[in-house]
Structure 1
Amino acid sequence: MSAALEMRGISKSFPGIRALSDVDLVVESGEVHAIVGENGAGKSTLMKILAGVYQPDEGTILLGGEETRISGQLDARRRGIGMVYQELNLVPDLTVAENIALGRTPSRFGILQRRRLHEEAVAVLEALDARMDPSAILGSLTVSQQQIVEIAKAYALRPSIIVLDEPTSSLSEHEAQALFRVVRRMREEGIAIIYISHRLREVLDLADRVTVLRDGRQIETRESKGLTAGEMIRLMVGRDLTDVFPKRDVPIAETVLEVEGLTRAGAFENVSFEVRAGEIVGLAGLVGAGRTEVARAIFGLDRAQAGTVRVDGAEVRARTPGKGLASGIAYVPEDRKRDGIVPSASIKDNISLPVLGRLSAGGWISRGKEQRLAKEQVAALGVSPPVIDRPVDTLSGGNQQKVVIAKWLAARPRVLILDEPTRGVDVGAKADIHEIIGELAAAGTAILLISSELPEVLAVSDRIVVLHEGRVSAELGRAEADETSIMHAATGEAVTA
């Protein structure tokens, strides 16, 4: 029996870049086949060729054993290829049923057939064992439920192949389990599933086989059984990373950040904790628990209705991000593309944005100072390539994240809030970012770290504050914290604060 998909000898070049070189990929029906690799390894390019976005320079594609030329994205869908990208492509104001039917809404004589629309959505959701109301407005759902709607939309087209690109990047490990049930149900139906993720533990749990790409080349394809995360990392980066989450032992000094009774109705209530110089405090909890909302209020992006924030004993009245920054607080947001960078601007311009006042005199920016600052930050954080005039959107995800961090470090903050600092970056860049975090703590910066990856929180934090439905449900020391205790507190099963 022929494989659902064979990609043979696929090569692709862009001006000055060899993105793929002679890559082979074979995916069987009823298989979850993971593709892993660092940012820039060629994963996205290979999938865009499968989706008809790009044409390969060399190589052939076979679907069900028949050689095929995929002329475009519509052609790919017609041939049974479903794509679920990392960024959701849904309409928040429409219902679940309407989103599942996007682009193929049932109608007769130009009139929408709402009953048929609802019935088709019910059938799709039941087939995926996805428990949700088809008439619910999408924007009212959790991120994990919206991700399942995105998969249901692709599944409704009855594809033979589905590509899932970082489907859990916005989900906690607890919430990802619902999505895994959907993936396993599709595998049982005989759908060939290509699964791309930087979360290596979920790859090992979910995938039948794993293909590793590095620098646009296929390094190895192996059964996942018996494969370890350490072996995958070695294949991905070409070297051993003995500790992806390094933890430095640094002296912890005086209290720098004090949060007391912080409240914002509907988001969080009576949140209190402190962070000391040289300390990394992890802020854990399920998606929707209020972690990001608390961080935004501390920095001044959102206004708290009650409570106080102090830096070095002085009360911070952060009504705007500018005032938060002036008080010594910097915030690296969870969505770097939307909130962290100006994508089309250069590395230099992005880094200088928060400190233009320091670089200016008489209303004029000193280009010499701006260039020196950018070069210093690029060198300190290992941004690659170190070309300060290069647009940020031409960098890999990991290097874009380094630019976001560099931008705020240029402001020399006393408190650094990091919201999902390694989301969507590869293991090599993840290790680099954690090394940077360790260096900042060693220099006396007070760090508040938000992450949905429990291994990350556990590995780098000195203390962990857990939120459940907007309230502090536990505060755990490094020695007593583990995944079980955090999840008990995050789900409200145990209150040990």
Structure 2
Amino acid sequence: MLSPATPAAVIPLSATAAPSEYLLEIVDVTKEFPGVKALSHVQLRVRPGTVLALMGENGAGKSTLMKIIAGIYQPDAGEVRLRGVPVRFETPLQALQSGIAMIHQELNLMPFMTVAENIWLGREPLNALHLVDHGKMRHQTQALLDRLRIALDPEDSVGSLSIAGRQMVEIAKAVSYDSDVLIMDEPTSAITETEVAHLFSIIADLKAQGKGIVYITHKMDEVFQIADEVAVFRDGQYIGLHRADSMNGDGLIAMMVGRELTQLFPERTAPRAEVLLSVRDLALDGVFSGVSFDLRAGEVLGIAGLMGSGRTNVAETLFGVTPATAGEIRIDGQSVRMNDPCLAIQKGLALLTEDRKDTGIFPCLSVGENMEVAVLKGFASGGFVQQQRLDQLCEEMRQQLRVKTPSLDQCIANLSGGNQQKALIARWLMTRPRILILDEPTRGIDVGAKAEIYRLIAKLAAEGLAVIMISSELPEVLGMSDRVMVMHEGTVTGFLDRGEATQERVMHLASGNPVLH
């Protein structure tokens, strides 16, 4: 662990405190931002050697509280107690020096630096001349990656890694601090089930070492696999705390959303309509090859695969981000050279990218400006934008997708990650696409909003929209797809119809094995 906390690293609010059975306590904390009360008198307690799952819908205040604990925000009222001592962190460094590390929902890595440089940034080992000892840093990084069983090269550029690869770097970086309290904000949002199992083994090791872990997730099954206790927030308020083994999924959902949810995945029947998109032997040199499939109007085609399988690369090639080096794309039977996203939009395609931070939102613009950016040209007349019509459409989409924001003028960077995601989905639906490509569409979205997104996808498909859905969540792929295309290391290993698709069969194909019968 880093050096113990000192007055320079943490500001104590009282000189003495009674011994506490808790590593971390949140007492009556309140936090407001312009136009919104993010937290109202909330509480939380974390014991050594336990996992506390913090649950709630997007905008419930979970990430705001974690940022207060990590020293990114300061509370307006209430206090944070660390090992029984009230503290106030003015910077994230103070929190780190006191034994609190955080894996953020939005990845905070330097893409132009290596894996090793990112992990030890600001803590680089020095040689006798007080210069960075790159050999020692590489050795330390390799030892850490080996201990965590993460198959990355310390010299890899982070910018060259997939989202899942970057997520594993974030996990390694947080563990490297050897902190007593580790906050994990949606750590599995961009990794596959194989990597999730790997992360859970790391968490088990940390628990055995007496660490306290705060785990934020929207995935119900994860809570009951690893959590000892579950705390629920709703609309910035503390709702309650329960032992995980005393709860079930329906009860937890009801606490989170304040109501019971009906069936998560809507029932639907895929029409046997005409082929809208036909792909033959599509390839991108060194990335994937031989990808062929047909996509019909009203069909949801799921694409599954492990990290590095090429799922996202296929989506980007279909959308013209990275033009294919071989193969053919046909839309309505007409061959199209898809070498530009603008052409793809003209042809009726839309792509929701997997990384909303890097390739999705414009963080300095408002919610409305982020939603309307793809359709501005269609609302221009005589050199002027018909802003009133555009604002009305944005407001309709905001209400339909339940984007929680004080107004469309709010800066999108101030929204929770899930609400940013919903604003991006609204952006692409406003283009009225015929072929919608969704790459991790529910990443960082709460269970209530997930159900709404699933119903929306089913509704769009029923209206004749063709959907390609890429997801690392197998229940989502199986629950929404009419067919599942499985990839492994850049090749298609098989197709499964809805009736025959199971998690076992998908994982078997995703590992490069022939389909099970």
TM-score range, shorter chain: over 0.9
How far 1:165 moved relative to its partner? Answer: 1.2
Q: Which residue of 2 aligns with 1:456?
A: 476
Is the 8 Å Cα contact of residues 316 and 327 (structure 1) preserved in structure 2?
no
Aligned residue among 297, 304, 316 for 2:336? 316
Deviations 1:451-496 (A, max 9, x none): 1110111111111111111111111110000100000001112257
Correspondence list, 1:131-280, <5 A: 132=151, 135-139=154-158, 143-144=163-164, 146-249=166-269, 251-280=271-300
| Structure 1 residue runs without a partner (length 5+) | none
**Change beyond 3 A, Cα 1:258–1:116:** closer
**Change beyond 3 A, Cα 1:359–1:115:** closer
Correspondence list, 1:291-370, <5 A: 291-370=311-390
How far 1:156 moved relative to its partner? Answer: 3.0
Q: Which residue of 2 aligns with 1:4?
A: 23
Q: Which moved more, 1:65-74 or 1:297-306?
A: 65-74
Q: Which residue of 1 aligns with 2:496?
A: 476
- In the aligned structure 2, how far is the partner of 1:437 from the partner of 1:386? 26
**Change beyond 3 A, Cα 1:280–1:162:** same
Is the 8 Å Cα contact of residues 399 and 429 (structure 1) preserved in structure 2?
no
Q: Which residue of 2 aligns with 1:68?
A: 87
Is the 8 Å Cα contact of residues 106 and 357 (structure 2) preserved in structure 1?
no
**Change beyond 3 A, Cα 1:283–1:102:** same
Is residue 112 of structure 2 the alignment partner of residue 87 of structure 1?
no
Could you tell me which amino acid in structure 2 is paired with residue 244 of structure 1? L
- In the aligned structure 2, how far is the partner of 1:105 from the partner of 1:120? 10
Deviations 1:353-409 (A, max 9, x none): 333333223433333443343344344444445844444334443333333222222
Deviations 1:62-93 (A, max 9, x none): 22223333333222112111122123333455
Q: Which moved more, 1:369-378 or 1:234-243?
A: 369-378
Aligned residue among 425, 437, 441 for 1:421? 441
Could you tell me which amino acid in structure 2 is paired with residue 30 of structure 1? G
Is the 8 Å Cα contact of residues 280 and 449 (structure 1) preserved in structure 2?
yes
Is the 8 Å Cα contact of residues 463 and 475 (structure 1) preserved in structure 2?
yes
**Change beyond 3 A, Cα 1:384–1:493:** same
**TM-score (structure 1 length as normaliser):** 0.92
- In the aligned structure 2, how far is the partner of 1:405 from the partner of 1:133? 32
Q: Which moved more, 1:264-273 or 1:252-261?
A: 252-261
Could you tell me which amino acid in structure 1 is paired with residue 156 of structure 2? I
**Change beyond 3 A, Cα 1:83–1:202:** same
Could you tell me which amino acid in structure 2 is paired with residue 51 of structure 1? A
Q: Which residue of 1 aligns with 2:76?
A: 57
- In the aligned structure 1, how far is the partner of 2:168 from the partner of 2:365? 34
Q: Which residue of 2 aligns with 1:409?
A: 429
Give the total of aligned pairs.
496
- In the aligned structure 1, how far is the partner of 2:382 from the partner of 2:255? 54
Is the 8 Å Cα contact of residues 378 and 386 (structure 1) preserved in structure 2?
no
Q: Which moved more, 1:41-50 or 1:223-232?
A: 223-232
- In the aligned structure 1, how far is the partner of 2:295 from the partner of 2:85? 61
- In the aligned structure 2, how far is the partner of 1:141 from the partner of 1:370? 37
Could you tell me which amino acid in structure 1 is paired with residue 96 of structure 2? R
Is the 8 Å Cα contact of residues 360 and 366 (structure 1) preserved in structure 2?
yes
Q: Which residue of 1 aligns with 2:458?
A: 438
Is residue 334 of structure 2 the alignment partner of residue 285 of structure 1?
no
Could you tell me which amino acid in structure 2 is paired with residue 63 of structure 1? L
Correspondence list, 1:479-490, <5 A: 479-490=499-510
Q: Which moved more, 1:455-464 or 1:81-90?
A: 81-90
Is the 8 Å Cα contact of residues 93 and 137 (structure 1) preserved in structure 2?
no
Counterpart secondary structure, 2:279: strand
Is the 8 Å Cα contact of residues 473 and 496 (structure 1) preserved in structure 2?
no
Is the 8 Å Cα contact of residues 398 and 430 (structure 1) preserved in structure 2?
no
**Change beyond 3 A, Cα 1:138–1:210:** farther
Q: CA RMSD in A?
A: 2.4
Is the 8 Å Cα contact of residues 305 and 486 (structure 2) preserved in structure 1?
yes
Could you tell me which amino acid in structure 2 is paired with residue 202 of structure 1? E
- In the aligned structure 1, how far is the partner of 2:301 from the partner of 2:152? 38
**Change beyond 3 A, Cα 1:365–1:313:** same
Identity of aligned residues (%): 45
- In the aligned structure 1, how far is the partner of 2:501 from the partner of 2:294? 18
- In the aligned structure 1, how far is the partner of 2:163 from the partner of 2:386? 44
Is the 8 Å Cα contact of residues 348 and 370 (structure 1) preserved in structure 2?
no
Q: Which residue of 2 aligns with 1:105?
A: 124
Q: Which moved more, 1:400-409 or 1:128-137?
A: 128-137
**TM-score (structure 2 length as normaliser):** 0.89
- In the aligned structure 2, how far is the partner of 1:280 from the partner of 1:152? 36
- In the aligned structure 1, how far is the partner of 2:366 from the partner of 2:108? 28
How far 1:138 moved relative to its partner? Answer: 4.9
How far 1:144 moved relative to its partner? Answer: 4.6
Is the 8 Å Cα contact of residues 338 and 344 (structure 2) preserved in structure 1?
yes
Counterpart secondary structure, 1:358: helix
How far 1:120 moved relative to its partner? Answer: 4.0
**Change beyond 3 A, Cα 1:115–1:173:** same
How far 1:142 moved relative to its partner? Answer: 6.0
Could you tell me which amino acid in structure 2 is paired with residue 35 of structure 1? L
Aligned residue among 61, 66, 76 for 1:42? 61
Q: Which moved more, 1:256-265 or 1:339-348?
A: 339-348
Q: Which moved more, 1:368-377 or 1:16-25?
A: 368-377
Could you tell me which amino acid in structure 1 is paired with residue 274 of structure 2? E
**Change beyond 3 A, Cα 1:378–1:72:** closer
- In the aligned structure 2, how far is the partner of 1:115 from the partner of 1:300? 41
How far 1:441 moved relative to its partner? Answer: 0.7
Q: Which moved more, 1:64-73 or 1:30-39?
A: 64-73
How far 1:310 moved relative to its partner? Answer: 1.5
- In the aligned structure 2, how far is the partner of 1:349 from the partner of 1:61? 37
Aligned residue among 1, 11, 36 for 1:17? 36
Could you tell me which amino acid in structure 2 is paired with residue 110 of structure 1? H
Is the 8 Å Cα contact of residues 130 and 182 (structure 1) preserved in structure 2?
no
How far 1:117 moved relative to its partner? Answer: 3.3
- In the aligned structure 2, how far is the partner of 1:412 from the partner of 1:406? 10
Is the 8 Å Cα contact of residues 302 and 470 (structure 2) preserved in structure 1?
yes
| Structure 2 residue runs without a partner (length 5+) | 1-19
How far 1:40 moved relative to its partner? Answer: 0.9
